[in-house]
């Protein structure tokens, strides 16, 4: 079997896993999203968060946005990742609410308008967030994450590898995106846990909760 440290092998696995989630029906996607959100509501890292980042799904990604009314009732401030202007593959985290002006970025993903995001009062540095809910392409039983390959989260959260206070990182995916094992690269930022529509896998891998 080809090593997943090989770039071509990783690209092939990404294609395979993206295909798996893309063939899910609209009903399956909706049910998976609701199941995921029930898993997330039980996590202490989500329950205690007052400032949380999530994402708007594209290309079959599992949808965390059914959590938005629950966050609103709990007076949780919600932020979205925004491609940072004039910076290579890194992110801002920008306030998101009903009146946030939205535009499509170069990947066709809706995000808060750059002019809105540029005002410091509308964004937070990553270290000031309590919890980030992050998309992934693949994961394993040790909560290792395979992202899209652009390194946006790894660059934006590189400070976590240096130690000190840091937000909790919760990866989310469809259960069909789990694989036996993934390689860990030196630049990978470790997740706290991965939640799918079926279970939660903790990075300490002592147990997964159905």
Q: Which two tokens stand for residue 65?
A: 């946005």
pLDDT, tens digit (0-9, with 9 covering 90-100), for 42-92: 999 999 999 999 999 999 999 999 999 999 999 999 999 998 876 667 899
In a domain, 155, yes or no: yes
In order of 81, 171, 192, 195, the CA distances from 203 in angstroms are 23, 11, 5, 11
The annotation status of 121 as a binding-site residue, yes or no, is no
In a domain, 1, yes or no: no
How much is the pLDDT for 88? 67
The annotation status of 152 as a binding-site residue, yes or no, is yes
pTM given for the model:
0.89
The annotation status of 12 as a binding-site residue, yes or no, is yes
What SS3 state is found at 168?
strand
The annotation status of 163 as a binding-site residue, yes or no, is no
Beta-bridge partner residues of 201: 194, 208
Q: What is the CATH number of the domain that holds 191?
A: 3.40.50.10420
- The boundaries of the domain holding residue 77 are 7-209
In a domain, 34, yes or no: yes
Residue 53: phi, psi to the nearest 5?
Answer: -110, 135
The candidate with the shortest Cα–Cα distance to 195, out of 131, 129, 110, is 131
In a domain, 106, yes or no: yes
Report the helix count and the strand count for the chain, using DSSP H and E: 6, 13
pLDDT, tens digit (0-9, with 9 covering 90-100), for 142-195: 999 998 777 788 888 888 888 778 999 999 999 999 999 888 877 788 899 999
The annotation status of 153 as a binding-site residue, yes or no, is yes
How many structural domains is the chain composed of?
Answer: 1
In a domain, 2, yes or no: no
Q: Which DSSP category does 188 fall into? A: P
In a domain, 169, yes or no: yes
The annotation status of 61 as a binding-site residue, yes or no, is yes
In order of 5, 55, 141, 150, 187, the CA distances from 107 in angstroms are 26, 14, 30, 12, 23
Structure confidence at residue 9 as a pLDDT band (50, 70, 90): confident
In a domain, 131, yes or no: yes
Residue 91: phi, psi to the nearest 5?
Answer: -125, 150
The annotation status of 148 as a binding-site residue, yes or no, is yes
The annotation status of 150 as a binding-site residue, yes or no, is yes
Q: Which two tokens stand for residue 6?
A: 């090989």
The annotation status of 56 as a binding-site residue, yes or no, is yes
């Amino acid at each position: 079997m080809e090593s997943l440290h090989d770039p071509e092998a990783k690209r092939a696995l990404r294609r395979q896993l993206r295909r798996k989630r893309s063939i899910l029906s609209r009903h399956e996607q909706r049910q998976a999203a609701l199941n995921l959100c029930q898993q997330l509501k039980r996590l202490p890292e989500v329950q205690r968060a007052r400032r949380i980042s999530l994402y708007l799904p594209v290309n079959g990604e599992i949808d965390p946005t059914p959590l938005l009314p629950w966050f609103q009732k709990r007076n949780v401030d919600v932020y979205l990742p925004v491609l940072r202007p004039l910076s290579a593959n890194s992110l801002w985290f920008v306030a998101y609410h009903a009146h946030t002006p939205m535009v499509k970025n170069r990947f066709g993903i809706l995000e808060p308008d750059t002019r809105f995001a540029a005002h410091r009062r509308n964004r937070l540095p990553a270290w000031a967030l309590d919890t980030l809910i992050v998309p992934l392409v693949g994961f394993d039983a040790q909560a290792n994450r395979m992202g899209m390959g652009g390194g946006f989260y790894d660059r934006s959260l590189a400070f976590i590898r240096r130690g000190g206070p840091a937000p909790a990182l919760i990866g989310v995916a469809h259960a069909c995106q789990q694989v036996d094992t993934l390689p860990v690269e030196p630049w990978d930022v470790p997740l706290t846990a991965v939640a799918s529509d079926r279970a939660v896998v903790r990075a300490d891998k002592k147990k997964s909760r159905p």
